[in-house]
Amino acid sequence: LSERLGGILDRLTGRGALSEADVDAAMREVRRALLEADVSLDVVRSFIDRVREQAIGATVVKSVTPGQMVVKIVHDELVATLGADGEGGIDLQAVPPVAIMMVGLQGSGKTTTTAKLARRLTQRDKRKVLMASLDVYRPAAMEQLAVLGRDLDIQTLPIVEGQKPAEIAKRALSAAKLGGYDVVLLDTAGRTTLDEEMMSEAIEIKAIAQPHEVLLVADALTGQDAVNLARSFNERVGLTGIALTRVDGDGRGGAALSMRAVTGKPIKLIGTGEKTDALEDFHPSRIAGRILGMGDVVSLVERAAANIDAEKAARTAERMRKGQFDLTDMREQLIQMTNMGGLSGLMGMMPGIAKMKNQIASAGLDDRVVKRQIAVIDSMTRQERKNPDLLKASRKKRIAAGAGLKVEEVNKVLKMHRNMADMMKAMGSGKRGPMAGIAQA
């Protein structure tokens, strides 16, 4: 997204407010990015509507390009939709034993997440935890939890053959009461699809256990089904939160947005691996960046806001448009680049540029080089900066001496300027940014 969106948005320069046409063009790209990230269609639609409303007519704050402004609005709305930071804690404020019930499809990670949560509550929160498997359908399911419990030194409810899930739930609760446990985790049985039997079983268990938390465990790689899944469980059983598993996989995490949007329930936990220590709190901004396929957009926008002087940017843009990009303009660009944390800082924040990293490295362009280039331009007269054609051998020698560098360095700067100026002219076609010119120098 960042490149395509960037391409469209780079052309929106120097205007006071975002126009409807600009926003619509940007929204087409955002829509595509969300669908690619597997966010469900309905959720995408309402999301786009909300963002469009905010973006149209939004005043572009000083020092930020309209493009960056749109990206920021999209990002902020995405984060807001995903939930507030810190809303994800497991709630243990109840009379012990506090029951926590895990629901979800087969293979979604319920048993693993039960063990992960038990480990966290035991080791970090110093609670006494009992785990119980209510999965009477899969032969090895109860044993799987028992093995995890032994590894972690956490108690599991003894297995009694022939009991129904509801009976096991009852037994788990009374065992927890008698044993003085703080928390009892109920690992229920899933099914491969959303079926009635699973739902009514979950409803029955919930009625018996009166759990303080009901967590839907769902695979982050769930695509368009995420909405149905989350909606059904929330309407039929009633959820208090969502645990998203396999966030270590290569999915873009659209399911998180879909499920949060249709249930309004917080994503409380993130599973990031098969081991029992791979459990994390949910951070909306991380998933937002992932869904958009961008690096750290927000900090980029914030740094840009802090550093770019809008007037200078507008002037440079105007000169670029007219094909009058001279060495003073180039100096301006280099300075802005160093203000934004230099090349390495920029590259870390923008995936599109990260791809050019090797190219840039082979051009020998690092932050020290940028400082030298600025020094070279500083040694030129105003005339020379305006008209680099004046720079014959003797002038180059003088400039090199002034900057304390070799003539070779002066030639490199001139070559880079030519490349950039050519790029600027070609920018009308919209394909390559000025950075491409830098990389070729």
Q: Is 265 in the site for ligand GDP (CB under 6 A)?
A: no
- Of 337-396, binders to ligand GDP (CB under 6 A) are none
Known binder of ligand: residue 254? no
Known binder of ligand: residue 93? no
Known binder of ligand: residue 263? no
Nearer to ligand GDP, 104 or 434 (CB): 104
Known binder of ligand: residue 67? no
81 binds, among Mg ion, ligand GDP, none (CB under 5 to 8 A by kind): none
Q: Which of 119, 246, 260, 396 binds ligand GDP (CB under 6 A)?
A: 246
Q: Is 108 in the site for ligand GDP (CB under 6 A)?
A: yes
Known binder of ligand: residue 376? no
The single residue listed with the structure tokens 């990015």 is 33
Q: Which of 111, 234, 245, 373 binds Mg ion (CB under 5 A)?
A: 111
- Contact call for residues 115 and 131 (beta carbons, < 8 A): yes
Tokens of 415: 């070559």
106 binds, among ligand GDP, Mg ion, none (CB under 5 to 8 A by kind): ligand GDP
Known binder of ligand: residue 248? yes
Q: Is 106 in the site for ligand GDP (CB under 6 A)?
A: yes
Distance CA 62, CA 66 (A): 10
Known binder of ligand: residue 190? yes
Q: Is 109 in the site for ligand GDP (CB under 6 A)?
A: yes
Minimum distance of Mg ion from residue 100's CB (angstroms):
15
- Contact call for residues 100 and 212 (beta carbons, < 8 A): yes
- Contact call for residues 309 and 366 (beta carbons, < 8 A): no
> SS3 for 296?
coil
149 binds, among Mg ion, ligand GDP, none (CB under 5 to 8 A by kind): none
Minimum distance of ligand GDP from residue 163's CB (angstroms):
19
Partner residues linked to 129 by β-bridges: 183
Which DSSP string corresponds to 38-100? T--HHHHHHHHHHHHHHHTTPBPPTTS-HHHHHHHHHHHHHHHHH--TTTTPPP--SSSSEEE
Q: Is 274 in the site for ligand GDP (CB under 6 A)?
A: yes
Distance CA 315, CA 307 (A): 16
- Of 177-236, binders to ligand GDP (CB under 6 A) are 190, 217
Residue 395: how many other CB atoms lie within 10 Å: 16
> Tell me, what DSSP letter sits at residue 19?
-
- Contact call for residues 353 and 435 (beta carbons, < 8 A): yes
Nearer to ligand GDP, 5 or 279 (CB): 279
The single residue listed with the structure tokens 């400082």 is 371
Minimum distance of ligand GDP from residue 273's CB (angstroms):
5
Residue nearest to ligand GDP (CB): 271
Nearer to ligand GDP, 244 or 300 (CB): 244
Residue nearest to Mg ion (CB): 111
> Tell me, what DSSP letter sits at residue 17?
B
Distance CA 359, CA 276 (A): 41
Nearer to Mg ion, 81 or 111 (CB): 111
Q: Which of 271, 284, 352, 433 binds ligand GDP (CB under 6 A)?
A: 271
- For ligand GDP (CB under 6 A), the number of binding residues is 18
Sign of the C-alpha dihedral, residues 391, 393, 395, 400? positive
Known binder of ligand: residue 182? no
Q: Is 147 in the site for ligand GDP (CB under 6 A)?
A: no
Residue type, 204: E
Q: Is 248 in the site for ligand GDP (CB under 6 A)?
A: yes
Nearer to ligand GDP, 190 or 434 (CB): 190
Tokens of 239: 């959820």
Residue 281, burial from CB neighbour count under 10 angstroms (0-12, 13-18, 19+): middle
- Contact call for residues 243 and 271 (beta carbons, < 8 A): yes
Binding positions for GTP are 104-111, 187-191, 245-248
Binding residues (CB under 5 A) for Mg ion: these are: 110-111
Which stretches of the chain bind ligand GDP, using CB under 6 A?
104, 106-112, 190, 217, 245-246, 248, 271-274, 278
